[in-house]
Structure 1
Amino acid sequence: MTQPVILFSGQGAQKIGMARDWIESSATARDLANQADLALGYSLTEIMFEGPEEKLTATSHCQPALYLHGLIGLALLKERLPDFKPAAAAGLSLGEFTAHAAAYTFSFEDGLRLVSRRGTFMEEACNATDGAMAALIGGDEEKVRALAEATDVDVANLNAPGQIVISGTTQNIDAAVAQAKDFGIRRAIKLNVAGAYHSRLMASAQEKLAEELVNTIITTPAIPVVANFTAKPVGSEGEIRSTLTSQVTGSVRWIESIQHFIDAGHTSFIEIGPGKVLAGLVAKIAPSATVISIEDQASLDAAVEQLSQ
């Protein structure tokens, strides 16, 4: 079996009912879910199963929910395919923490604590600032950066060719949306988000997360993990702490991250997370790559069958 690169979802992929069929049917999944509920001091799984939407969407809840979902999916895949070992890992924004946990950079519990605190810190930063984000469709990076400079906003996510997200104060994002066509950008869509993620408005969250990372035991990843901030594999303890900290206000360089894998000869990917967002992005970045998406029992069964061939 050619070992694929494993990719983990970012915030926004969460949905009510996530991981329910896994947790109800698998002792392995239940054990991880129970560990999470115990470590957090509240029932994360209840929020994942029942919502309501606003509760699950809250940054402090959806980040640990996606982390748990990703690691349950990986554990069940490995249970079904004992010889499965990913070639490398990456994750979109929050998903980078899941990727590190999958690579044993830190323990399941330590990673859960980090993403829970990260979510809380980002929620606090959102509440303390008036921030917004917008997706820019059909504009190259140079044009987007020119618009961002003109309107004093930050480039948050370089998701796929022609799909870049900007982040900043609501006033400046509104100005950028209004002026996008003047910069040769086909379409600008303001996003329904709680604040300005991956921008300077998250500085307070970044500082607090840095303190949490200092107190976290970090080891060399067992497989290469590509960081959002550098779009390169990270190895040393200092580099991992630095990239996970910088990512809070820095750009998510997803296009370059996927391109790094392609350039290294990896053309097979597995996405673990609700929906198929990452599969869609990879298809735009590297049309010849193959992506298997795993989000529930049916897609897990299909993936196991495909990977067994």
Structure 2
Amino acid sequence: MGKDLYDEFPAAKELFDRADEILGIPLSRICFEGPEDELQQTQNTQPAIAVTSLALLRVATDLNPDLLDRPSFVAGHSLGEYPALVAAGALGFDDAIRLLRTRGELMAAAGKSRPGTMAAVIGLDVSECEDVCRESGAEICTINAPGQIVIGGPRDSVIRALDYAQARGAKKVIPLSVSGAFHSSLMRSAAEGMVNPVATTTFSDLQVPVVANCTATAISDVTTVRNELVDQVHRPVQWARTVEFLGEQGVDTFIEFGPGRVLSGIIKRMLRRSTCITVNSAESVHVEL
């Protein structure tokens, strides 16, 4: 992840090298060489995805300085909210990487102290999933798109929930390989652990509104940002509502910076007339609007 950028663009190399220095671990080596099980540890995954996303952003905007001239909004899914805040001018790169490493460590610890798992439920709406969760003891963790919801909780609860979801007509249920029930009440200790790191980090005034994961509303003041970064650890990610909000605001062009293209796919399905540009590799950083 990110090796092509690192090799081709000095600006990207600078960010990966800086992340290694900040964290005191060979994050770039983990990104480029693995092993996969080490990269998949959430304390590594979170800063790894963030530095890759921000390297893509840096290179693309270096090549086209007008690319992000006065964007209407920025948004990020889960850990992606941190790179979004960097893009909005609210958070420095160094602080974002430090906070995400801490966030990952706290979430990993919470996953050990209160074990849980997650699963995707395809084909049920939110109210149906809420019923399933009430019956099983699971919780909704992310609402990614209409009919595409991730639930989580104790393993037994999630297993029951999948049986109930199938009985209600879910098209597909997909157990996820994760180390905890992220964005659920099982992560409350991790959220509490983020309070002090977030409170002691310097934030600047936002130059662009950020659409918050927890509320799917635009936020632009530092106090609300701090609260959001704590709350989003143990509350559901409202991504479908985020996309709906952006569509209602008249946004019709989206640029996704990151190692995948999942969010662009969701946006395109929900807002069929939108233009979605994915910047996820060295080959895709030359963007013209």
TM-score normalised by the chain length of structure 1: 0.90
Root mean square deviation of aligned Cα: 1.1
Name the counterpart of 1:66: 49
Name the counterpart of 2:206: 221
Work out the CA distance in 2 between the residues paired with 1:198 and 1:103: 23
Work out the CA distance in 1 between the residues paired with 2:8 and 2:283: 12
Code of the residue aligned with 1:25 in structure 2: it is: E
Work out the CA distance in 2 between the residues paired with 1:29 and 1:222: 23
Name the counterpart of 2:22: 39
Matched, 1:145 2:130: yes
Name the counterpart of 1:19: 2
For structure 1, which segment, 188-197 or 158-167, has the greater mean C-alpha deviation from structure 2 after superposition? 188-197
Give the C-alpha shift of residue 136 in structure 1.
Answer: 0.7
Code of the residue aligned with 1:288 in structure 2: it is: R
Work out the CA distance in 2 between the residues paired with 1:87 and 1:20: 31
Structure 1 stretches of at least 4 aligned residues deviating more than 3 Å after TM superposition: none
Q: Which consecutive residues of structure 2, in runs of 5 or more, have no partner in the other structure?
A: none
Aligned 8 A contact 1:134 1:190 in 2: yes
Work out the CA distance in 2 between the residues paired with 1:192 and 1:169: 14
Give the C-alpha shift of residue 207 in structure 1.
Answer: 0.4
Give the C-alpha shift of residue 182 in structure 1.
Answer: 2.9
Give the C-alpha shift of residue 61 in structure 1.
Answer: 0.4
Name the counterpart of 2:186: 201
Give the SS at the match of 2:12: helix
Aligned 8 A contact 1:225 1:233 in 2: yes
**How far does the alpha carbon of each residue in 1:236-280 deviate from its partner, in whole angstroms, 9 at most, with x for none?**
221111111110110100011111111111111011111211111
**How far does the alpha carbon of each residue in 1:25-63 deviate from its partner, in whole angstroms, 9 at most, with x for none?**
111111111211111111110000000000011000010
Equivalent positions of 1:136-175 (< 5 A) are 136-175=121-160
Equivalent positions of 1:50-89 (< 5 A) are 50-85=33-68, 86-89=71-74
Work out the CA distance in 1 between the residues paired with 2:133 and 2:234: 15
Name the counterpart of 1:9: none
Name the counterpart of 2:168: 183
TM-score normalised by the chain length of structure 2: 0.96
Work out the CA distance in 2 between the residues paired with 1:182 and 1:209: 38
Matched, 1:29 2:7: no
Aligned 8 A contact 1:138 1:187 in 2: yes
Aligned 8 A contact 1:161 1:255 in 2: yes
Matched, 1:292 2:277: yes
Aligned 8 A contact 1:143 1:184 in 2: no
Name the counterpart of 1:236: 221
Work out the CA distance in 2 between the residues paired with 1:91 and 1:99: 6
Work out the CA distance in 1 between the residues paired with 2:285 and 2:168: 43
Code of the residue aligned with 2:18 in structure 1: it is: Q
Give the C-alpha shift of residue 126 in structure 1.
Answer: 1.0
Work out the CA distance in 1 between the residues paired with 2:285 and 2:20: 24
Matched, 1:255 2:227: no
Code of the residue aligned with 2:74 in structure 1: it is: A
**How far does the alpha carbon of each residue in 1:161-207 deviate from its partner, in whole angstroms, 9 at most, with x for none?**
11001110001000001111333433222111111011111011000
Q: Which consecutive residues of structure 1, in runs of 5 or more, have no partner in the other structure?
A: 1-17
Give the C-alpha shift of residue 87 in structure 1.
Answer: 2.9
Work out the CA distance in 1 between the residues paired with 2:139 and 2:196: 24
Code of the residue aligned with 2:175 in structure 1: it is: K
Within the candidate set 281, 295, 298, 2:266 is matched to 281
Work out the CA distance in 2 between the residues paired with 1:123 and 1:276: 25
Work out the CA distance in 2 between the residues paired with 1:172 and 1:165: 13
Work out the CA distance in 2 between the residues paired with 1:244 and 1:94: 9
Work out the CA distance in 1 between the residues paired with 2:110 and 2:36: 21
For structure 1, which segment, 285-294 or 239-248, has the greater mean C-alpha deviation from structure 2 after superposition? 285-294
- Percent sequence identity over aligned pairs: 36
Code of the residue aligned with 1:19 in structure 2: it is: G
Aligned 8 A contact 2:206 2:222 in 1: no
Within the candidate set 268, 271, 283, 2:256 is matched to 271
Work out the CA distance in 2 between the residues paired with 1:56 and 1:48: 7
